[in-house]
Amino acid sequence: MKTTSVFIAVLAALVMIGCYASLEQYPKEKCGLLPNDNVVKAIHDNCIKCHTKDFKTKQDICARKSMIIDSVKSGRMPKMGKLYDSYKATILNWK
C-alpha cells in the first residue's frame, strides 16, 4: 500500500512538472494565415492542459505552427495522452 502511494505521488509530481511547459524561450515564426477553428479546437482540446500560456489566441497558435506540426508528426506531442486520429490529421494537414 505504501509503495503504491509513493508511486502515485511521484507520478503525479512528474505530470505536474511536465505541465509547466512554456515555449517563451523559443523564437516565434511570422504568422501568415490564422488557423481555422478545427485547428484551434484540436490545440485547445489537447495542448492547453500543459501549454496554458502558449496558446491563448489564434495568433499564438499561428506563431508556433511549424513547431506544433513537427511535434505532432514526430510523436513528441502530446506528452499527456494520445491524439485522436481526426485531431492529428487536422494538425498535420494545416495549411
Query: What does the alpha-carbon distance between residue 84 and residue 10 come to, in Å, rounded to a whole number?
Result: 27
Q: How far is CA 47 from CA 26, 30, 77, in A?
A: 17, 21, 8
> Contact 61/35 with Cβ under 8 angstroms?
yes
Interval 7-55: pLDDT, tens: 565 544 444 555 666 788 888 999 999 999 999 999 999 999 889 899 9
> Contact 61/43 with Cβ under 8 angstroms?
yes
For the chain, the structural domain boundaries read 2-92
Q: What is the pTM of this model?
A: 0.77
